[in-house]
Structure 1
Amino acid sequence: MIDPRTAPFAATLLRVTLGLLFLTHAWLKIFVFTPAGTAGYFQSLGLPAALAYLTIALEVLGGLALILGIYSRIAALVLVPVLIGTIVTVHGAAGFFFSNEGGGWEYPAFWTIGLLVSAMLGEGAYALRPHTNQKAVPNV
């Protein structure tokens, strides 16, 4: 059974945590690796350099949207391909466990599931743009 008293807060906790993770990854790409360095890394993988800049933008904008609760369902779904891209281009070859050398696909896959769950749950409490047609949570 879903507890309608706490479910909105659980959705908020998940939404904000996911947003913070994306902002942290964007911060790393901007201030540690630099956008040019990130673009070079993407090129070393055989990807277009422009995709690095798009990824950084998606991480910043999507992270902020999740944290603030602005179109967070859409933001979560838009960020799913970013994570699937990391599995396909980098982490998949390293195996399942993220502790493997090169970091396996375990963490990005779990993060992807978190985004999908967030998209299904909705904005939750304290969103700047709450979903206005939300119905009562059914007893499941």
Structure 2
Amino acid sequence: MIDQRTAPYAFLILRLALGLLFLAHGGLKIFVFTPAGTAQYFESLGLPPALAYLTMTLEMAGGIALIVGLYARLAALALLPILLGGIVSVHGAAGFFFTNPNGGWEFPALWIVGLAAVVLGGDGALALRPTFRERAGA
């Protein structure tokens, strides 16, 4: 049974946690590694350098959208390919545990589960713009 009184707050907590994580990782790419350095790293993986700029933009915009609840379900859906790409291109070969050299895939997989929960469960409490179904009370 789902407690309808508290479930929206559970999704709020999940949105905030995921949003902060995406802002932290996007900020790391922008302010520490620099956009040019991140693009160079993507290129070293055999990925188009332009994908690095798209990734940084989605991480920052998606993180903000999750935090404020602006189309949070769509933001979560848009962020899923970033994590799947991270598993396939970087973390998958390192094994399961994130403490392995080059980080394993357990942490990005957990993010995927969290994002999937937001996609399926809804925007949650205090969303700036909940989806139509949630506004209609469905």
Could you say whether these structures have the same fold, taking a TM-score greater than 0.5 normalized by the shorter chain as the test? yes
SS in 1 for 2:91: helix
Q: Which residue of 2 aligns with 1:95?
A: 95
Q: Which residue of 2 aligns with 1:77?
A: 77
Write out per-residue CA displacement over residues 35-72 of structure 1, whole angstroms, 9 at most, x where no aligned residue: 00000100110111100000000001111110110111
CA distance in 2, matches of 1:83, 1:45: 15
Q: Which residue of 2 aligns with 1:55?
A: 55
C-alpha deviation, 1:8, in angstroms = 0.5
CA distance in 1, matches of 2:50, 2:131: 34
What is the TM-score when the length of structure 2 is the normalising length?
A: 0.95
Q: Which residue of 2 aligns with 1:121?
A: 121
* Count of residue correspondences: 136
C-alpha deviation, 1:10, in angstroms = 0.3
| One-letter amino acid of the counterpart of residue 44, structure 1 | S
- Which aligned pairs between 1:1-140 and structure 2 lie closer than 5 A? 1-134=1-134, 135=137
CA distance in 2, matches of 1:86, 1:25: 12
Write out per-residue CA displacement over residues 10-50 of structure 1, whole angstroms, 9 at most, x where no aligned residue: 00000111011000001100110000000010011011110
**Identity over the aligned pairs, expressed in percent?**
65
CA distance in 2, matches of 1:73, 1:124: 10
CA distance in 1, matches of 2:48, 2:112: 23
SS in 1 for 2:129: coil
> Unpaired segments of 5 or more residues in structure 1?
none
CA distance in 1, matches of 2:26, 2:130: 25
CA distance in 2, matches of 1:3, 1:83: 30
What is the TM-score when the length of structure 1 is the normalising length?
A: 0.94
